[in-house]
């Protein structure tokens, strides 16, 4: 039973009734699992008291303006048979934003908690690859949170329409905000290499959000960013190297 399942159980989210019953049965039968869940529950309960990070006012003002413009445009246009406003993608974007906030919040809270894992020693074959795992610990909560951020940002960027829209701008602004939070976390986790990569994404995201960017330029920027996010995921997901596995 991994922490992801326990998290979903805690938040009563995305689990079927059968899955919940199964987890409840395992918690009742397995004292070690129960202890793990209790510890997680205690930490997540503590997070509720944390103050939410307030978005800068000028960004909120921009979001409001974008929403107003989109609403005005929608009122002015007659609805065609195939509506251009994709409710599914908007709902997905909102869910993505909420999941990103959850991932960041967990990463923030756990970054102050000592996780008793043995450090991963890089093998000789990867000795010259920049180690982007904070303090060499591939399974730390910060690393897991960051992997989730890369994964979901990549999916969000990949699924975004190249045409300018209020929902697209909101998603980009949210990714920028989460990115900045992870930059701070990367510095606190002694991982300047990761901080640089994360900072490198922001100018691309800003150009994606700019009104002056054409759909063609936006498609290229999306492809570039998606590649870089996926490349970082590939790097972070690689197992500890073993010289017997190298070519």
Contacts with other proteins, residue ranges (CB under 8 A):
56-58, 61, 125-130, 132, 192-193, 195-197, 199-200, 203, 220, 223-224, 227-228, 230-232, 234-235, 237-238, 241, 245-247
Shortest distance (Å) from residue 236 CB to other proteins? 9
* Beta carbons of 209 and 173 less than 8 angstroms apart: yes
Neighbouring C-alpha atoms within 13 Å toward the C-beta of 69: 13
Residues 77 and 73: their CA atoms lie apart, in Å, by 6
Residues 178 and 185: their CA atoms lie apart, in Å, by 11
CA 190 to chain centre: 20
What is the DSSP-derived secondary structure letter of residue 186? Answer: H
Residues 162 and 72: their CA atoms lie apart, in Å, by 21
Shortest distance (Å) from residue 59 CB to other proteins? 10
Shortest distance (Å) from residue 35 CB to other proteins? 35
Which of 119/124 has CB closer to other proteins?
124
Shortest distance (Å) from residue 219 CB to other proteins? 8
What is the DSSP-derived secondary structure letter of residue 49? Answer: T
N-term to C-term CA, the chain:
34
Which of 30/234 has CB closer to other proteins?
234
Shortest distance (Å) from residue 44 CB to other proteins? 29
Which of 27/173 has CB closer to other proteins?
173
Shortest distance (Å) from residue 184 CB to other proteins? 11
Which of 96/176 has CB closer to other proteins?
176
Which of 13/193 has CB closer to other proteins?
193
* Beta carbons of 149 and 156 less than 8 angstroms apart: no
Which of 26/202 has CB closer to other proteins?
202
Residues 40 and 20: their CA atoms lie apart, in Å, by 17
Tokens read off for 9: 């159980």
Q: Can you say whether the dihedral through the CA atoms of 113, 118, 120, 124 is positive or negative?
A: positive
């Amino acid at each position: 039973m991994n922490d992801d399942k326990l998290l979903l159980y805690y938040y009563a989210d995305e689990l079927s009734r059968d899955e919940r019953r199964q987890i409840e049965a395992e918690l009742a039968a397995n004292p070690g699992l129960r202890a793990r869940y209790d510890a997680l529950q205690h930490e997540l309960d503590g997070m509720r008291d944390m103050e939410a990070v307030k978005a800068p006012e000028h960004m909120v003002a921009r979001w409001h303006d974008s929403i107003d413009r989109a609403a005005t445009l929608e009122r002015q246009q007659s609805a065609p048979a195939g509506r251009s406003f994709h409710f599914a993608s908007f709902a997905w974007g909102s869910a993505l934003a909420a999941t990103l906030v959850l991932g960041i919040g967990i990463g923030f809270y756990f970054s102050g908690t000592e996780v008793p894992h043995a450090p991963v020693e890089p093998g000789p074959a990867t000795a010259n690859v920049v180690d982007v795992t904070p303090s060499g610990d591939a399974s730390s909560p910060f690393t897991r949170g960051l992997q989730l951020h890369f994964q979901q940002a990549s999916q969000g960027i990949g699924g975004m329409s190249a045409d300018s829209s209020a929902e697209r701008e909101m998603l980009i602004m949210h990714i920028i905000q989460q990115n900045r939070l992870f930059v701070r976390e990367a510095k606190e986790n002694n991982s300047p290499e990761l901080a640089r990569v994360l900072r490198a994404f922001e100018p691309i995201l800003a150009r994606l959000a700019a009104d002056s960017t054409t759909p063609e330029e936006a498609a290229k920027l999306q492809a570039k960013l998606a590649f870089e996010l996926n490349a970082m995921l590939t790097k972070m997901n690689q197992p500890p190297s073993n010289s017997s596995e190298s070519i």
